[in-house]
Amino acid sequence: MILGIDIGGTKCAAVLGTSEGEVLERRAMPTEADAGWRDIVDRLLQMARDVGGGRELTGVGISCGGPLDTTRGVVMSPPNLPGWDAVPIRSEFERAFPGVRVELENDANATALAEWRWGAGRGTRHMAFLTMGTGIGGGLILDGRLYRGANDLAGEVGHQTILPEGPLCGCGKRGCLEALASGPSIGRLARDSVMYGRGRRVLELAGGKVADITARQVIEAAREGDAFGLGILEEAGTYMGIGLANLIQIINPERIVLGTIAVHAGDLILEPIRRTVAERAWARAVERCTIVPAELGDRAQDLAALALMA
């Protein structure tokens, strides 16, 4: 029996589950991030005790946005949790669950583990998982285990440079993959192009307001066969394809699992991604690697926390 704790900027959850990824019980709460870390952690511990108290636990897995220091089990100022400066979350849970092993891991790595154990990465030895939502984070499973790197920063595939003079990324660098192919970047690509009189259907779906165009309307229009929407996904998919080709040249994985946007847009974005990968990476490595959408969907967050101890 494993206790999984998922800490997010808007909601937190505690799940009780098995090492086969079966969820037996689940509670959630709004984070209320402004309340400060002490208050949030106290409510989290209470919820954890409600779910896991009195059970024979083999471990507690905590999944949280980075940056983290996983060796010390400390949360280091993630952007979505203001005021969490060096919060010793692991020792808080160790005190609440004496004698139970507690692991802290960043959410992208934890989701990579979950997709590898129970989702689209099952049965592989070398796999990369990339979120493709608000940002492009990632986790690497190499030689059959999570690879963290020298200080927990491995797998940040979204912050490789694709266009040296490209748009500014949220991370402060220029031309990152995330600045070209994440959800918000797809929205921006569309907003920048719609202004030249193109993209009427996308604009219509956004209620006629350019500022309200997001990846959602782009994907919806593309699904209807709209050329503008398809073109935007083609452009973002091409950038993503270059990034994945580089990843393939460097780690030669068997499988790349892509989150949110790839799940929603499916082949509309996977097709340009795969085509670009075939152009940009070596054939022998490309033939060995399948690029697929994630499988766990809404269950990913809960399973991510469980996967840490499974």
Site for a copy of itself, rule CB under 8 A:
67, 125-126, 140, 142-143, 145, 147-157, 159-164, 171, 173, 242, 245-247, 249-254, 279-282, 284-285, 288-289
Q: Which CB atom, from 173 or from 299, has the smaller least distance to a copy of itself? A: 173
Tell the smallest beta-carbon distance from residue 209 to a copy of itself (Å).
Answer: 33
Q: Which CB atom, from 246 or from 260, has the smaller least distance to a copy of itself? A: 246
Q: Which CB atom, from 73 or from 139, has the smaller least distance to a copy of itself? A: 139
Per the DSSP assignment, residues forming a β-bridge with 292 are 257
Q: Which CB atom, from 11 or from 122, has the smaller least distance to a copy of itself? A: 122
Contact status, residue 136 vs residue 182, Cβ threshold 8 Å? yes
CA distance 251 to 102: 30
Q: Which CB atom, from 92 or from 115, has the smaller least distance to a copy of itself? A: 115
Tell the smallest beta-carbon distance from residue 80 to a copy of itself (Å).
Answer: 17
Contact status, residue 260 vs residue 133, Cβ threshold 8 Å? yes
CA distance 310 to 306: 6
Q: Which CB atom, from 61 or from 243, has the smaller least distance to a copy of itself? A: 243
Q: Measure Cα distances from 51 to 3, 64, 88, 232 in Å.
A: 8, 19, 21, 45
- Burial string for 31-49 (b: 16+ CB within 10 Å, else e) reads bebeeebeebbebbbebbe
Tell the smallest beta-carbon distance from residue 309 to a copy of itself (Å).
Answer: 20
CA distance 177 to 50: 42
Closest CA relative to residue 137, chosen from 152, 112, 157, 167:
157
CA distance 277 to 296: 24
Tell the smallest beta-carbon distance from residue 255 to a copy of itself (Å).
Answer: 9
Tell the smallest beta-carbon distance from residue 70 to a copy of itself (Å).
Answer: 12
Tell the smallest beta-carbon distance from residue 293 to a copy of itself (Å).
Answer: 20
